[in-house]
A and B are shown apart, each in its own frame.
Chain A
Amino acid sequence: MLIRRAPEVPSSEITPESLYLDRRSFMAAASFAALDLAAPSLGRARARRVRDDEKPTSYASITHYNNYYEFGTGKEDPSENAGGFKTRPWKVEIAGEVAKPGHYDLDDILKGQTIEERVYRHRCVEGWSMVIPWSGFPLRNLITRVQPTSRARFVEFTTLYDPARMPEQRGGVLPWPYVEGLRMDEALHPLTLLVTGLYGRPLPNQNGAPLRIHVPWKYGFKSGKALVRIRFTADQPANTWNVVAPNEYGFYANVNPTVDHPRWSQSRERRIGEFLRRPTLMFNGYADQVASLYAGMDLRRNF
């Protein structure tokens, strides 16, 4: 399999320097925002130098164009239906092949983690994309803390199942709860982010609050929202879209312009807010960082 090298994307443009917030000021910003007294200056003060074509998508678009079927299948349903979703208290179960399993309180999960801002490209399998200034911390920090055993080869992520709070779960559009998975080396990759915020504010409910994952070189559906369980397994876990349509959605779901979805092309994408479609980049432009994970693999078969 030929892996075309994507144009150089310096990491400085993906993760601008000087954006590191310590947890204290992040939490201060978070509580202000939560009280709707958000100080937008916090976001603006941190001047970032990014190329024009990697300009972050507007906050309004990022929060009003969501695939989050638990809150409805329309793109604007989550922004309309997730408003009252309570994200505290919140527990995350760490389970499976791990030395320190248990039900961790979210505050405990976040304890000691340095929240940093990372501007990531986000490519949906449907053919649109965004540039999102997330805040969060690398998943690997949590993984090293809970110490998976040597048998752990995969990580499974489970989204909350609570039909009383997630209206679409009363219907059968997808099998619930939503599950996703990564290979251990993918989960440990420094780009793989546990997300707690957006635009320097706490993560809005429609974007997967209070805790979601983002794997920027994979199609968006790989990145589960409202996580309640992280399980370490020896065998490859199931992932929801693969269960629903195995010929259309694989386990890997790496962004790949040369492997089309059976029903539509993946060679181009529309960046939300732009008029013309732009070419899709191999591994969503992160080939330099992640292509080695898949060396020797047939990416056409392992789509």
Chain B
Amino acid sequence: MSGRTGQRAVRLTVYLACLLPLVRLATNGLGGRLGPEPIRAVELFTGTWGLTFLVITLAVTPVRRVTGWNWLAGYRRPLGLFAFAYVTLHFLTWFGVDQFFAIRYIGQDILKRPYITVGFASFLLMIPLAITSRKAMVRRLGKRWATLHSLVYVAALGGIVHFVWSAKADLSTPTVYALILVLLLLFRFVPRRSARPRTAGPRDLPTPVP
């Protein structure tokens, strides 16, 4: 059976799909289709996708529990790292392109502008999570790993607050993210079924032979 090869193909497909936004950004950029204010467009694009991948990552466990697709668990880490990658691109675009390394203004903005303070803090918060995402670290940190990584909710919340506070009047997109995050958070408080010993459900029964 080619189960392992199949898994690998699925995994590769997922990774490539995660890169699609970046490819689109690059082709739009090279094709001059980022509009009159391309730096702003890149910031908006990378920030939105960072937040999207954060939300997708946070949805893995709830979806796994609802569907019983346990193989999804293996995608939590790579999806989280893609979120971190897009957020990092977002930060670097602001730092190195938009502000062009003007440390004085960057420092002032981080200290004085709450939306930048929150956004920057959320980015910093994701760094230890990315560093400790490896399997060896999960083992080494034990219970503390789960506690540490629950901070991802704080980072996502910070990202949404950053989005809301940077908006002028149209809050429709950040509101969608906020609603999804609240739902995912609420799901965390739904009691786990898997705590009980698993009993055979209809799904586990062998297909009856007619």
Residues on A close to B: CB < 8 A?
A: 57-58, 60-61, 64-65, 69, 73, 75-76, 126, 128, 173-174, 244-245, 263-265, 268, 270, 272-273, 275-277
CB distance from B28 to the nearest CB of A (A): 13
Centre residue among B99, B113, B169 by max chain A CB count within 10 A: B169
Known contacts A75-B36, A244-B169, A272-B37; 8 additional CB pairs below 8 A are A64-B35, A65-B35, A75-B35, A75-B37, A128-B37, A245-B169, A265-B113, A270-B39
A sample of 14 cross-chain residue pairs with beta-carbon separation below 8 angstroms, ordered by A number, consists of A57-B36, A65-B35, A69-B170, A73-B169, A73-B170, A128-B40, A263-B166, A265-B105, A265-B108, A265-B109, A265-B113, A270-B39, A272-B36, A272-B37
A276 touches B113 (CB 8 A): no
Contact with A along B25-36 (1 / 0, CB 8 A): 000000000011
With A173-B169, A268-B105 as known contacts, state yes or no: A61 contacts B113, CB within 8 Å.
Answer: no
With A73-B170, A126-B168 as known contacts, state yes or no: A65 contacts B114, CB within 8 Å.
Answer: no
Chain B interface residue count, Cβ-Cβ cutoff 8 angstroms: 19
Q: How far is the CA of A244 from the CA of B113 in the complex (A)?
A: 20
B100 within 8 A of A: yes
CB distance from A61 to the nearest CB of B (A): 4
Q: How far is the CA of A174 from the CA of B99 in the complex (A)?
A: 31
Q: How far is the CA of A265 from the CA of B109 in the complex (A)?
A: 8
A263 touches B113 (CB 8 A): yes
B75 within 8 A of A: no
Contacts of A65 in B (CB 8 A): 35-37
Partner of A276, one of B100, B112, B170: B100
Contacts of B99 in A (CB 8 A): 277
Q: How far is the CA of A263 from the CA of B114 in the complex (A)?
A: 7
Q: How far is the CA of A268 from the CA of B100 in the complex (A)?
A: 13
Contacts of A275 in B (CB 8 A): 39, 100
B36 touches A263 (CB 8 A): no
B163 within 8 A of A: no
B115 within 8 A of A: yes
Partner of A173, one of B39, B105, B170: B170
Contacts of B100 in A (CB 8 A): 275-277
B165 within 8 A of A: yes
Contacts of A61 in B (CB 8 A): 36
Contacts of A277 in B (CB 8 A): 99-100
Contacts of B112 in A (CB 8 A): 265
B165 touches A263 (CB 8 A): yes
A69 touches B105 (CB 8 A): no
Contacts of B114 in A (CB 8 A): 263
B105 touches A263 (CB 8 A): no
> Quick one: closest B residue to A58, CB to CB?
B36
Contacts of B168 in A (CB 8 A): 126
Contact with A along B75-91 (1 / 0, CB 8 A): 00000000000000000
Q: How far is the CA of A164 from the CA of B36 in the complex (A)?
A: 29
Contact with A along B102-127 (1 / 0, CB 8 A): 00010011001111000000000000
Contacts of A57 in B (CB 8 A): 36
B37 touches A69 (CB 8 A): no
Q: How far is the CA of A37 from the CA of B115 in the complex (A)?
A: 48
Q: How far is the CA of A76 from the CA of B109 in the complex (A)?
A: 27
Contacts of A272 in B (CB 8 A): 36-37
> Quick one: closest B residue to A248, CB to CB?
B168
Contacts of B115 in A (CB 8 A): 263-264
CB distance from A188 to the nearest CB of B (A): 30
> Quick one: closest B residue to A69, CB to CB?
B169
For chain B, residues 180 to 198, give those with C-beta under 8 angstroms from any C-beta of chain A. none
Centre residue among B36, B105, B109 by max chain A CB count within 10 A: B36
